[in-house]
Structure 1
Amino acid sequence: MTTVSHRPALTAVNPKNPEEWIQRAAEVAAILAVDAAERDRAGATPFEEVRLLKESGLVTLLGPAEHGGGGQTWPTAYQVIRTVSAADGSIGQLLGYHLLWFWAARLVGTPEQIAHVEAEATKNKWFFGGAVNPRDEDVVVTDEGDTIVFNGHKTFSTGGKVSDVTVLEGTLLGSDTHVFAIVPSDIDGLNFHDDWDNIGQRLTESGSVSLNHVRVGWGQAAGFVDKVFQPRVYNTLNVPTIQLVFVNFYLGIARGALETAVTYTREKSRSWLHGGYEKAVDEPYVIDIYGDLTSKLWAVEALTDAVALEAQVIHENAWNVTAEERGEHEVRVAAVKARATDVALEVTSRIFEVTGARATATKEGLDRFWRNVRTHTLHDPVAYKRREVGRHLLTGELPEPTWYS
């Protein structure tokens, strides 16, 4: 039994502002940090961890206040994701993906769908998963009159068995029109295969899923009116929004690695016997590396926060955002994604240079930080992010909206 299920009570007072929500995330992180390495090794389905996210209120952080939600904005949500990820990258990813899919109705839905989904999701504290892996195009949606039917397979479906609802995506038969729908995760025909067995992010329930005659009403097809999709530029904001989710849990994992390593160096590392220093914290190379890694992390965190504030302006203008505004924002997101990837990988690998050979013991769990970052940063090649930035600088070209840009 993990300590997550035998945890101290959270602060009774409900958070009311961004600072209090970030503090609530820090409380959750402190609970998760106690046995993060143990839970990573066990790889068990994180039912208790998701229960903690629900009880803390973090799952309804973006929900309307009139329905009991936090009523917060994406800049606060990104800080919360980063804070939780410092303790447990898997749970930070689950929370980040949940918040993105909670927002899915706003991204592609009609005003009526947005109001309905956000009210129900907030009041019932739905935890969202998503079967929307864009590399898999074999989910077909068939029009059967008043209903549509999803059939196919997705290689990845983050959230899996711990989700209450799942966002589905497929292509309408005989067209190139994509259809999104939010369905109960226990709906007939939706089968999670429990085959996530990767080196990192082990608790994200990101295995494959099959859709066998999953039937929903046309009214659940997000953004469709009379079976016709109602397009707007904001529909394409799902990519930069989730890429900033990625950035923040990468940086959170890096922060957790650095803080864990600092504690180890202070309490357990030994100075080199030929260095002439009594304590590891006095070793010049140790001081230099920590200073270097901390400076780089601070710089990317500052850029990330700036880009998050830029994104909020677009979210507040969702119905009128232009293609140019969207494209320029995507370039900024691409830049911060590239830097966060590089810095997170560097921090999580170089901490061993300043903790020493004994720090590689399995019981210390320091390897989980690198495994987590290395696993998820392969989601899409960072070279293509740098290319977006370079082409915009040289030619003024804006990225064409795709599943990855």
Structure 2
Amino acid sequence: MPTAARSPTVPARPTIPPLPSSARQPTSNRKEPDVTDTTTQTIDTTRSPWSGTASREELAHWRGVAESVAATLGEDALARDRANLDPTTELDLLRDSGLVNLLDPAEFGGGGGHWESAFLAVRILSRTDASIAQILAYHYINSGNIGFNTDAAKRADWYRRTVEGRWIWGDSVNPTDPNLELVPDGDGYRLNGLKRFSTGASAGDVVLVNAIVRGGELDGRFLFFALDHDRDGVTYLGDWDALGQRLSASGSVRFTDVVVTPDDVLGIGTDEPFSTLITPGIQLAFGNLYLGVAEGALAQGLDLTRARPAAWFLSTADTYRDDPFVQRVVGEFASKIAAVEALADRAGRAFDEVIALGDDVTAEIRGEIAIEIAKLKVVSTEVGIEVANRIFEITGSSSAKSSTGLDLFWRNVRTHSLHDPVDYKKLEVGAYVLNGELQPISLYT
């Protein structure tokens, strides 16, 4: 097993606001998963481990935490992007800040937070480092399977271990690349095959894997299971070579006769409405990521524009910041970003309200929140790409210098927005608005 290379040292971290008194942070750094632990600490047996919605105080706390982390990441984001190494040091920053355990129940030492707070953190980190924001977003979704797909009786053990170990959950679940073979072997399974686009897997602590069982009493069923990073037979190929999101640790993973025990299994996939909320959740994370990139591109563009001397020789203004054409572009961008932000906030609050219903989530309710989030996916994709691309119109030719790094925003949003075609999200929304039709449940819808 090759040792993951570490990124350049992250600068000293700003002071981070303390967590609410109801939460505590473990003192360990990266703790290897103990897959044999059988602690029987109890947890509320209601279907959803999340209730209610985020308070102003909760949102303010996690906003402060995320802004501190984003400021640190922003100090050398371009240099780290160019180094193109697995972000192990950056993930320590997420652990130390408490962001990785934001959604975990407070009774186990987690942050006891809501999904709206988690998506806000993803948005804020995306303003300076969308790669690390992507890993955090996927971590929330991957570890969220504990709440969505694990029986209440098993949740306590999973939550206790992920909080105490401060695990970051990577994944190897790409549904368009189903080249995994999971076959019964004794009371467990053997896993073989290759998965591409495994975000966070090589740099995190555990790897969430989805695979269909071939043979035995669960033949044809879809299993969710988690493997510790250094499990025998798991090899990280380090072949991620995209133009953006370079530090998202999204390379391929090869599985060779990997032992999967019953203790590794989180749950069995179904089309039951509550458990399948995980898919609208990841799409909501994407919407916030693209919004954050747009906000970050505009922020850097404004700094560059304010620093520009004089103005274009045909302009009636003395400086670029006073040029009416520059102001028009800025006004357009700021207005579009504000609209996307309002939709993202509304969708984030609604998502928590739906999750709090637990077993009362119906197929119709699940479909309606998926459509609301699909609307965000459409507009955040378009605004993210537009702002990151057109920001150069107000910053001028000098901003195209490699050392400026303004291209990082476009490279990141252009790369990640290809995750799944936004045109199909437009079709989802249109089919629902016109005919009340909902798409079949999948890992993309």
Question: TM-score normalised to the size of structure 2?
Answer: 0.87
Equivalent residue number for residue 136 of structure 1: 177
Equivalent residue number for residue 299 of structure 1: 339
Offset at 1:141?
Answer: 0.9
Q: 1:178 aligns with which of 222, 227, 237?
A: 222
- Is the 2:67–2:125 Cα contact (8 Å) retained in structure 1? yes
Offset at 1:2?
Answer: 7.4
Equivalent residue number for residue 245 of structure 1: 285
Offset at 1:9?
Answer: 4.7
Q: 2:357 aligns with which of 317, 330, 334?
A: 317
Change (3 A) 1:47 1:97: same
CA distance in structure 2 between the aligned counterparts of 1:12 and 1:394, rounded to whole angstroms? 47
Equivalent residue number for residue 198 of structure 1: 242
- Is the 1:257–1:369 Cα contact (8 Å) retained in structure 2? yes
Which of the pair is proportionally richer in helix? Answer: 1
CA distance in structure 2 between the aligned counterparts of 1:207 and 1:181, rounded to whole angstroms? 19
Equivalent residue number for residue 106 of structure 2: 65
- Is the 2:235–2:255 Cα contact (8 Å) retained in structure 1? yes
Of residues 110-119 and 97-106 in structure 1, the stretch that sits farther from structure 2 once superposed is: 110-119
CA distance in structure 1 between the aligned counterparts of 2:309 and 2:129, rounded to whole angstroms? 23
CA distance in structure 2 between the aligned counterparts of 1:279 and 1:59, rounded to whole angstroms? 44
Question: What SS does structure 1 have at the residue aligned with 2:431?
Answer: helix
Q: 4+ residue runs of structure 1 moved beyond 6 angstroms?
A: none
Equivalent residue number for residue 35 of structure 2: none
- Is the 1:141–1:179 Cα contact (8 Å) retained in structure 2? no
* Pairing 1:30-109 to 2, within 5 Å after superposition: 30-109=71-150
CA distance in structure 2 between the aligned counterparts of 1:213 and 1:181, rounded to whole angstroms? 15
> 1:176-221 deviations in whole A, cap 9, x for unaligned?
3211101101101111100001000000010111111111212432
Q: 1:163 aligns with which of 194, 197, 204?
A: 204
Change (3 A) 1:4 1:76: farther
Question: What SS does structure 1 have at the residue aligned with 2:278?
Answer: helix
Of residues 349-358 and 108-117 in structure 1, the stretch that sits farther from structure 2 once superposed is: 108-117
- Is the 2:8–2:80 Cα contact (8 Å) retained in structure 1? no
> 1:325-372 deviations in whole A, cap 9, x for unaligned?
111111111111011100100110010000000000000000010010
CA distance in structure 2 between the aligned counterparts of 1:18 and 1:125, rounded to whole angstroms? 21
Question: What SS does structure 2 have at the residue aligned with 1:319?
Answer: helix
Gaps of 5+ in 1: none
CA distance in structure 2 between the aligned counterparts of 1:250 and 1:303, rounded to whole angstroms? 13
Equivalent residue number for residue 287 of structure 1: 327
- Is the 2:190–2:257 Cα contact (8 Å) retained in structure 1? yes
Equivalent residue number for residue 252 of structure 2: 208
CA distance in structure 2 between the aligned counterparts of 1:393 and 1:232, rounded to whole angstroms? 23
Change (3 A) 1:199 1:193: same
Question: TM-score normalised to the size of structure 1?
Answer: 0.95
Change (3 A) 1:61 1:278: same
Offset at 1:21?
Answer: 1.3
Quick one: which amino acid aligns to residue 121 of structure 1?
Answer: T
Offset at 1:112?
Answer: 2.0
Quick one: which amino acid aligns to residue 145 of structure 2?
Answer: A
Question: What SS does structure 1 have at the residue aligned with 2:260?
Answer: strand
Offset at 1:36?
Answer: 1.0
Equivalent residue number for residue 19 of structure 2: 14
- Is the 2:184–2:213 Cα contact (8 Å) retained in structure 1? yes
CA distance in structure 2 between the aligned counterparts of 1:4 and 1:25, rounded to whole angstroms? 19
Gaps of 5+ in 2: 1-5, 22-57
> 1:304-332 deviations in whole A, cap 9, x for unaligned?
11011111112112222111111111111
CA distance in structure 1 between the aligned counterparts of 2:150 and 2:178, rounded to whole angstroms? 22
Of residues 72-81 and 271-280 in structure 1, the stretch that sits farther from structure 2 once superposed is: 271-280
Quick one: which amino acid aligns to residue 20 of structure 1?
Answer: H
Of residues 363-372 and 145-154 in structure 1, the stretch that sits farther from structure 2 once superposed is: 145-154
Offset at 1:123?
Answer: 1.6
* Pairing 1:339-354 to 2, within 5 Å after superposition: 339-354=379-394
Question: What SS does structure 1 have at the residue aligned with 2:418?
Answer: coil
CA distance in structure 1 between the aligned counterparts of 2:72 and 2:250, rounded to whole angstroms? 23
CA distance in structure 2 between the aligned counterparts of 1:208 and 1:67, rounded to whole angstroms? 33
> 1:118-164 deviations in whole A, cap 9, x for unaligned?
12101210011000011011111111231112111111100132111
Equivalent residue number for residue 189 of structure 1: 233
Question: What SS does structure 2 have at the residue aligned with 1:161?
Answer: coil
Question: What SS does structure 1 have at the residue aligned with 2:103?
Answer: coil
Equivalent residue number for residue 336 of structure 1: 376
Offset at 1:65?
Answer: 1.1
Quick one: which amino acid aligns to residue 342 of structure 2?
Answer: A
Offset at 1:100?
Answer: 0.9
Equivalent residue number for residue 149 of structure 1: 190
Change (3 A) 1:11 1:389: closer
Question: What SS does structure 1 have at the residue aligned with 2:433?
Answer: helix
Quick one: which amino acid aligns to residue 290 of structure 2?
Answer: Y
Equivalent residue number for residue 217 of structure 1: 261
Question: What SS does structure 2 have at the residue aligned with 1:223?
Answer: strand
Offset at 1:14?
Answer: 2.7
Percent identity among equivalent residues?
38
Offset at 1:109?
Answer: 1.2
Give aligned pairs, total: 401
- Is the 1:154–1:208 Cα contact (8 Å) retained in structure 2? yes
Equivalent residue number for residue 23 of structure 1: 64
Quick one: which amino acid aligns to residue 428 of structure 2?
Answer: E
* Pairing 1:262-281 to 2, within 5 Å after superposition: 262-268=302-308, 270-281=310-321
Of residues 111-120 and 13-22 in structure 1, the stretch that sits farther from structure 2 once superposed is: 13-22
CA distance in structure 1 between the aligned counterparts of 2:409 and 2:201, rounded to whole angstroms? 23
